[in-house]
Amino acid sequence: MSAIQKVNLLGLSPEKLIEFFESIGEKKFRATQVMKWIHQKGAESFEEMTDVSKKLRAKLEGICEIRAPEIVEQNISTDGTRKWIIRTEGGKNDCVETVLIPDGDRATLCVSSQVGCSLDCSFCSTGKQGFNRNLTPAEIIGQVWIAIKSFGPMDPNGPRRVTNVVMMGMGEPLMNFEPVVDAMILMMHDNAYGLSKRRVTLSTSGVVPKIYELVKRTDVSLAISLHAPNNPLRDELVPINRKYPIEELLEACQHYLDNLPDKRHITIEYTMMAGVNDQETHARELVGLLKNLECKVNLIPFNPFPHSGYEKPSNNQTRRFQKILADEGYTVTVRTTRGEDIDAACGQLVGDFHDKTRRSQKYIELREVSDQS
């Protein structure tokens, strides 16, 4: 155990990294140099930073570190999907998942923001395990770092290993606001990962006040986990709706779009559960509900898990639902399956806290979301 708590530079936003260097009496450009070494070249030690003076390297060694979360397991699917179980700083059982889905010339990374979740959506096993802890910025951006490094040495001039990121893994990202914003800023920064703002998407269940804050801080793309076309049903499926009902949520979405510097749409995620929210009346309600919002709809047939209490709708029912929306001019995608072979392996590994159902859905859903870019 070291006598002093070293500062982990991996999770510092560009602004905070500059502040840190200034606080130790170093010039701003040193922060830029170090940021490039960490995020573009994947440096794990200060020794590797050959254009930084030996003296400064020794100084940094004494007071800071570059520490990514520990990889408990990495699995690669036959279809190229990669999945990691990552142990966070909270201890032995504080693990989250990160998944990378390659698709042609793009690869979308699904990033977690919390261990567990407090929002308790009725169809989500992460919600059932309750909230454990928020991830730090280093643990969030560390998932991107780990994914890129899994292909070998990082090369800023080489092919992009991660082209899209969706904050759609475990947890509600807007309930861990500052660390998530810091990490997303790094994802998009030219001296870090340089991803387009259209290719970084935050998915939320509807923490309305934070949507207003988000647009003041960043201009990533936004996805909403809607799952129901009316308040009584959404109150049941997504309990945060009792606090922030659909009308307030859609108003916040419109505000978000209106305050972006460019024209964008919202992605509406709709998990379909047989006999619950998959009827034609629900589709028609959804048509009316979304008529004024610039959006695309992503339908996700529910993937049942033991004791979930919900069933997957038939393909015919899903197609009927999709057609009603499409006939009204909506762009509607239905999820397809990826990475199922490693999904099973991972579920065994992380045992009871593993949100297998939601993950399976999200692996696919994120591909659809990433198509908006």
- Pick from 100, 117, 174, 202: which binds ligand SF4 (CB under 6 A)? 117
On whether 227 is known to bind a ligand per the annotation, the reply is: yes
The amino acid that residue 49 corresponds to is M
Site string for ligand SF4, 327-366 (x = CB under 6 A): -------------------------------x--------
Q: In what order do the strands lie in the sheet with 106-111?
A: 70-76, 82-87, 95-103, 106-111, 164-167, 200-204, 221-225, 266-272, 295-301, 332-334
The question of whether 346 is a catalytic residue gets the answer yes
The tokens for 138 are 């280093």
**Among 228, 142, 134, which residue's Cα sits nearest to residue 176?**
134
Q: Is 171 annotated as a binding residue?
A: yes
Q: Does the active-site annotation cover 253?
A: no
Of 76, 58, 61, the closest CA to residue 9 belongs to 61
Cα three-residue angle 140-143-146, rounded to 5 degrees: 145
Interaction mask 313-332, ligand SF4, x per CB under 6 A:
--------------------
Which of 253, 346, 365, 368 is the catalytic position?
346
316 marked as part of a ligand binding site:
no
Rank residues 49 and 124 by Cβ distance to ligand SF4 and give the closer one: 124
Binding mask 10-49 for ligand SF4 (x = CB under 6 A): ----------------------------------------
Q: Report the half-sphere exposure of 113 (CA within 13 A, side-chain side).
A: 24
Residue 65 known to bind ligand? no
Tell whether residue 219 is a contact of ligand SF4 (CB under 6 A): no
Binding footprint of ligand SF4, residue count (CB under 6 A): 12
How far apart CA 49 and CA 46 sit, in angstroms, is: 5
Instruction: Report the SS3 class of residue 184.
Output: helix
- According to the binding rule CB under 6 A, does residue 120 interact with ligand SF4? yes
105 secondary structure, DSSP code:
T
Helix (H, G, I), strand (E, B) or coil at 96: strand
- 235 is a site residue for ligand SF4 (CB under 6 A): no
Q: Which residue number, 98 or 225, has a Cβ lying nearer to ligand SF4? A: 225
DSSP 165: E
User: Residues in the site for ligand SF4, rule: CB under 6 A?
Assistant: 117, 119-121, 124, 126-127, 171-172, 205, 225, 358
Q: Catalytic positions, please?
A: 97, 346
